[in-house]
Structure 1
């Protein structure tokens, strides 16, 4: 087993979570090995998060229609989820839920029912580490997805192919095998699979139990005829197929396994280059783990996060922070004070709005393919937005954090990492924010602290102005954009 250092713990928590305070990183490193630390984050069902559950039960109202008959408000969904990201002790649970939200991208702008989007979010969270077959079936029967990809209109004699197409292209295997380049399916497969999913619908719950939507199979709308899929391949089947029959066939295809390796690496490790033998071998090896462990996402994830590739120099700071990572990370790293407000008091909408400003408006992806990752997040315009958001996060102050809504880095939290010398102060805040930078940059930050008057950290004014400014400058560094 490989030992785990403080820097290792920081790398792990940036990828399996949103980052952590120095104390949290010390606790993670105290597990003694990388494997044990991964297991701790992966087995999040063993972590008591009841305090967050109690808070969200008190502070949020997700209703359909709203209990107070106010206008439909998807903002409450976003406020709830970002509160979970900020306060959860189960960081990987929220991080992988975010991954699946992007993978099974579904937009509230079309679904147009707040509670259905929350039902889907709950489904992704509850099944995030299940067998992929089981997660995919849950998603296929999810009311929001049934609306989003028009499965409700998919009936015998008048099929709608949207779900059948995206099921294969975006959710499981891709048009072409990511490693071999071979075509994975044909238009005939789309047509036949669409027939298999005819008659899929859902039943709305009673008003007394607004989250209890149930899947309904309408036999009168289902095409009972024989269907042939993947003819001429090892996956070929001819039978009276229903959608429940199709899903395990797709999930067992090697192309699906390799596609999932690519998706997980793009989000959690680094973009794979399939023109290289090394990365093709990586994809094949991890695909074999998926196939040999009965498609268990948990075992698949364990293999990825304990792999040499994940811990390699190539993986460190190889990804660009998504907007949620950018806005949630510093709050968690500082252990900043956060008060979501609500449900009847003023609500804090600032955190998810900053994520939306940076290009990721959760619950409303640009299209069914979700958000592009990494280089898509940084350009001239988006970097200016990141600088402005960083300034807000660093400089927002409060006189009463227990009653004022929002996220605040307090004087006491800044003082904790402020030292007598500029060298130690800069080093401390770079460590808190998990930045790896060069000596000239460090010297420039020290010069900023000493500009105008020599740095004197003994006064709150210096901490409130100079040190907040330092935090802002570090968050504006190119290196801080990297995860």
Structure 2
């Protein structure tokens, strides 16, 4: 297991926790977390509810044209990230979205994409095998990776390949034969269109028994008359999966380059808990690795972290202006992270790829826009940078709050999560 953090949980540590878990938080929430203490704050984060933002103006059912439905789902999710009561839940949904990738290039149904997001939320802290199985059967995934076209005699290997390469064991832990046999087991997993011509136009999972290959298969070293459920469960339960997904979780919450020792330690907890994600993620948030200097100074904010975190920290209230949120969505696209539209099935690679001359200029323009709404200097450095620096505060103290905020937001330090 990861070594637990034993140090003081002061305001700087609380700010770091809320920045990583919730993208950011105003000073009042940082102080509240400090008073609660680390253990209770983490338990409160893990005990999230399924309540949503009130008065979210974006609903795929309001789309006049089918193509508008998935755009409204993207906007709905962005609004939820910024204004919703459960930012940690949405952060987890984003992490799993970047693992079990689907995209609007092939899934053009607002109903299907909303159902996909709700599935990620529901299983975000459950058992990994249950999450993998639920997503594997979801119409969005079946369509995105072509398993709706996977039939006996002409197996489509797309989903079977990505199940092993990207979702579970990772490269080097399977063979081409495993992919072929897995595809045979997944034949007959397809979908049926529902709600055609209505706002609920989408699809649901169907098992077409007459299209399923009932022959014996050999998969990951075992032989039997395996079903689709069998092979998803077998892949999800492999020791290599514990290592592969533990590394991804550490990359999301701790560092772009987690140590092999930390990955191995977290994978041990994974296996001991049989893939219980609540246990695994709790251990990460309470670990020495999470609060280490290495963790606090090496991870570059993704565009969503940058924009959503800034708006949550600045406590920007919901606006009755749809074009404002559509503008934010366009900004995210320019920065390279449009929700529900990753570049390919491997998702966003992150890290240094987030930063270029063009994206830095876009970040600066966004910072200039947001900083105009900041009028209070109190706790500005702590809430934005996650730490206090007397020398910098002294240099900026005579500037109005909005100019201080802008300079902090465009600083190299603010680009780090």
TM-score (norm 2): 0.92
Q: How many residues align?
A: 411
Aligned residue among 250, 263, 266 for 1:265: 250
Aligned residue among 2, 9, 30 for 1:4: 9
Q: Which residue of 2 aligns with 1:471?
A: 405
SS in 2 for 1:44: coil
Q: Which residue of 2 aligns with 1:255?
A: 240
Distance 1:148 1:246, change over 3 A: same
Q: How does 1:145-160 map to 2 (within 5 A)?
A: 145-160=141-156
Q: Which residue of 2 aligns with 1:322?
A: 302
Aligned residue among 391, 396, 399 for 1:445: 396
Aligned equivalents of 2:46, 2:165: Cα separation in 1: 28
Deviation at 1:436, TM superposition (A): 4.6
Residue 62 of structure 1 pairs with residue 47 of structure 2? no
Deviation at 1:379, TM superposition (A): 2.0
Aligned equivalents of 1:160, 1:70: Cα separation in 2: 27
SS in 2 for 1:30: helix
SS in 2 for 1:241: coil
Q: How does 1:367-446 map to 2 (within 5 A)?
A: 367-395=344-372, 409=373, 414=375, 416-417=376-377, 428-436=379-387, 441-442=392-393, 444-446=395-397
Distance 1:107 1:340, change over 3 A: farther
5+ long unaligned stretches in structure 1: 176-182, 231-235, 274-278, 396-408, 419-427, 450-465
Q: Which residue of 2 aligns with 1:362?
A: 339
Of structures 1 and 2, the larger Rg is shown by 1
Aligned equivalents of 1:354, 1:340: Cα separation in 2: 19
Deviation at 1:325, TM superposition (A): 1.0
Q: How does 1:306-345 map to 2 (within 5 A)?
A: 306-339=286-319, 341=321
CA contact (8 A) 1:436 1:479 kept: no
Deviation at 1:434, TM superposition (A): 2.5
Deviation at 1:25, TM superposition (A): 0.7
Deviation at 1:341, TM superposition (A): 4.2
Aligned equivalents of 2:257, 2:58: Cα separation in 1: 40
Aligned residue among 206, 218, 230 for 1:245: 230
Residue 200 of structure 1 pairs with residue 205 of structure 2? no
TM-score (norm 1): 0.80
Larger relative contact order (C-alpha < 8 A, sep ≥ 6)? 2
Aligned equivalents of 2:404, 2:257: Cα separation in 1: 35
Q: Which residue of 1 aligns with 2:108?
A: 112
Q: Which residue of 2 aligns with 1:35?
A: 39
